[in-house]
Structure 1
């Protein structure tokens, strides 16, 4: 019975765990947002950070690096609160959303590569050309606009073909009408 009580006994004060969780969350959020801007895939930065920190905190609580499950639960609750709070603030206040998620960056406009943007995002011409090929673009001249989205994906809008494209039978309406 004593071992069960020890399992739930508090080793650290609640405020200590909240401060530790808050400091780690914000430092990693800033690193992910400003240093690793586009390397996060399709998840949002705050979501990826939340998953990593929750996994680590839960692991520590389960493996006994904390001497108390309650310490791990306080840390998890702190991380959940920050993640929910930032999602809520981002949804309601555009400046918070702009701070947490990078704005889209135009890389190609009307067939012209925006070299400063490529340099800023540390994307090589080979990488850009590869992503454009994945989007079905053979020539830069075919790109009306290509932009790097906040989640790291490339959105490509092609130039509209000049002239009138040939009409197909489906375009003409019903036959014999």
Structure 2
């Protein structure tokens, strides 16, 4: 044991990895990708305001950093490698989504129409498990008090609902107003 006299610090535990680095990378990779897929397909609506990858990175980095700091990993490099692995996968999936259309749909899903021309699309609402009262609440938060005012309302990829209304055009203008939560 390589402890510093009087301080009780085992410096080899702090700086020398005891877990194989490849194992940490593989564990971080499998955990990140599994959680990404679960959040992407199951909890999309619950993360409104933050993108799935943003939320996942924040949570996993916090946990990995806590483990490294609290000693659940036996060295700082173990924890730093795990944090680096998480950041790598977040960046790489976003990079793939930017460069490859197939991955873009996975990383940044297309909007799903919930209301079209004042009519609720119940099938799409059921797909996202949004009740009529939840949808109407979201519309009211954006200043829409009557469903007939809505030309288009969509569930965006980040879980927010965007709304395009049928506001009457001002004299000499034919523009529509768009709001997003």
The interval holding the TM-score normalised by the smaller chain is 0.7 to 0.9
The structure, 1 or 2, with the larger RCO (C-alpha pairs under 8 Å, 6+ apart) is 1
Aligned equivalents of 1:11 and 1:62: distance in 2? 15
Contact (CA 8 Å) 1:37, 1:102: kept in 2 or not?
A: no
Which residue number corresponds to residue 118 of structure 2? 111
Aligned equivalents of 1:84 and 1:26: distance in 2? 12
Shift of 1:108: 0.6
Aligned equivalents of 1:166 and 1:99: distance in 2? 43
Which residue number corresponds to residue 21 of structure 1? 28
Aligned equivalents of 1:62 and 1:47: distance in 2? 22
Which residue number corresponds to residue 155 of structure 1? 162
Aligned equivalents of 1:78 and 1:128: distance in 2? 38
Q: Does 1:50 align with 2:57?
A: yes
TM-score of the pair, normalised by structure 1: 0.87
Aligned equivalents of 2:28 and 2:14: distance in 1? 21
Shift of 1:21: 0.4
Stretches of 4+ moved more than 4 A in 1? 164-167
| Structure 1 residues not aligned, in runs of 5+ | 168-177
- Which has the higher mean CA deviation after the structures are superposed, 129-138 or 21-30? 129-138
TM-score of the pair, normalised by structure 2: 0.85
Question: Residue 94 of structure 2 aligns to a residue in which SS?
Answer: helix
Supply the RMSD in Å over aligned alpha carbons: 1.6
- Which has the higher mean CA deviation after the structures are superposed, 126-135 or 88-97? 88-97
Q: Does 1:30 align with 2:32?
A: no
Give the counterpart of 2:134 among 120, 127, 148.
127
Aligned equivalents of 1:32 and 1:159: distance in 2? 34
Aligned equivalents of 2:52 and 2:171: distance in 1? 45
The CA deviation string for residues 101-155 of structure 1, in whole angstroms up to 9 with x for no partner, is: 3221111101111010111111111111111111111211111111111111111
